[in-house]
A and B are shown apart, each in its own frame.
Chain A
Amino acid sequence: MSNENLYQEISESIINLDKDKALELANSAIREGMDLLEVIEKGFGDGIRHIGNLWDEGEIFLPELMLGGTILQEALSIILPHLKEQSQSISMGKVVIATIEGDIHSIGKTIVGTMLSANGFDVRDLGADVPVHKIIEEAEEFKADLIGISALLTTTMIGQKKLIDRLKEKGIRSNFKIILGGAPVSAGWAEECGADGYAGNAIDAVKLVKKILDK
């Protein structure tokens, strides 16, 4: 099977919410020694973006959306350990990543975390609905170089600014680079918050982090 065909088959397994097929394809991609970064982005990532579009268009609803996300995360958990073997062994830097408090959307953030790991960054993923003080504590404890904060709702993106304001109040803003992501987030918003950058998808996020950390 050509790579392109496999990517398409993976994408379809996510769109069809076919968990067995998705996990089987994840395992076969590992067995065949494929470039797992491409498998994630062009296969699984493509599928989950389709699911997102179907949600926007009202073709599917919350149960299907959540199921798609769960299948994706299971597939990623199979691939991730192998991806680390493929990537450089020297850490490119330490990153703490989280979805902000009040927001349970984790798929986009998980993909960004996975891609950063795959590119040699040491990533601590704090999950979703994480309070500002918790993110700061973890970043300090982990001695992170960069914090990535995701927000998928206009009502929760305020939390991204709150985090940066809190770091300033504590006089430790310059200890970390900060990037923002999430559907309602824009470069303008990142600038207004005083963040170091914004990325609209996982590939751009990796480029951005490399640029900011000068790697």
Chain B
Amino acid sequence: MSELFNEWLGNKSKIVLFDGGMGTEIIKRGISLGKLPDLLNIEEPDVISEIHGEYYNAGSDMVQTNTFGASMLNLQNHKLESRIEEINKKALGNIKRACPSGKLIVGDIGPSGVFKPPIGKATIEQWQSSFKKQAIILEDGVNLWHVETISDIEEMIAAIRAIKEVSTKPIISSMTYKHTKRGFFTVMGDPIEKCVEIQETEGASVIGANCTLGSEEMIDLAKELINHANKPVSIKPNAGKPRLEHGTKTVYDQLAEDFARDIKKMIDLGVKIVGGCCGTSPETIKAIKKLIQ
């Protein structure tokens, strides 16, 4: 099935529709995210499967597993390392039940939650070994990979190398950038052009950006990614900036139609894969689908 993804990449007129956020969908169903949403693969498998299904039904060509936080190091942060196999396997089961034929399953890998010095004590070897443990389990059921929301290019290198140790499937490599007066940088200070160059050298199939920025701010970022990258580009912005309601609830106010209009602008610039991150929903994906049809 990885061939299908490569076929999509090779087809000039095909825009690949990815999925949207998971957290807000879980909260909508009255379930608390708790410490780690990945644990819901075990505690609320039907809810997770239903959310995946809604994204496929809304028009997503591919949807990612609920395994953003299920790498070894991040599970250790939550004292859940002994459950790494159970969490990732259940996640595969939940998405397989929802995935219709002709559509794809993406193995999602998020940041480890630990930093290198001077902020933390992580080393590139620790990162790589942690991501590898997760990738070995997911390799069994995914068609391609999405490493996302990474803010340190060295951590991205570790993730790509870890995946390549156990898999030959395509990798979408998404960094998260901050918009500064001097341009787009990761919070660690890596400039966008340096990140793109390293991602391509390491063998990522698609160069991406996700989270932190809303759809409007992401348009300028998309321009830069397209300028610097030789590979196809993927974009998953947030639904604008969150706001606290009654001091207890995080709310994203942006309308799905406005988000979709920004996405359309990015597609016109040459972005190949589009979807959403925090605050986006199956409604957002439907709105994008409507505009790109």
Contacts and interface: CB of A to CB of B under 8 A. Distances in A.
A and B together in one complex: yes
A158 B189 CA distance: 29
A192 B180 CA distance: 33
Contact of B185 (A61, A157, A193): A61
A189 B244 CA distance: 11
A64 B119 CA distance: 9
A70 interface: yes
A157 B118 contact: no
A161 B188 contact: no
A161 B187 contact: no
Contact of B248 (A57, A58, A70, A158): A158
A91 to B, nearest CB: 33
Contact of B188 (A62, A189, A192): A62
B247 A58 contact: no
A25 to B, nearest CB: 21
What's the interface size class on A, roughly?
10 to 19
B119 A161 contact: no
A61 B189 contact: yes
A67 B187 CA distance: 14
Contacts, number: 47
Contacts of A62: 115, 119, 151, 187-189
Contact of A154 (B118, B151, B187, B244): B244
Contacts of B244: 154, 157-158
B212 to A, nearest CB: 13
A62 B119 CA distance: 8
Contacts of B189: 60-64
B178 interface: yes
A192 B244 CA distance: 12
B181 interface: yes
Contact of A158 (B119, B151, B180, B247): B247
A155 interface: yes
Interface string B105-121: 00000000001001100
A189 B115 CA distance: 32
Contact of A63 (B119, B242, B250): B119
A172 interface: no
A189 B180 contact: no
Interface of A: 57-64, 66-67, 70, 154-155, 157-158, 161, 189, 192-193
Interface of B: 115, 118-119, 151, 178-182, 185-189, 242-244, 247-248, 250
15 contacts: A57-B180, A58-B185, A61-B186, A61-B187, A62-B115, A62-B187, A62-B189, A63-B118, A66-B119, A67-B118, A70-B118, A154-B243, A157-B244, A158-B248, A161-B247
Given A58-B180, A61-B188, 19 more contacts: A57-B181, A58-B179, A58-B181, A59-B182, A60-B189, A61-B189, A62-B115, A62-B189, A63-B118, A63-B119, A63-B189, A66-B118, A66-B119, A154-B243, A154-B250, A158-B244, A161-B247, A189-B247, A192-B247
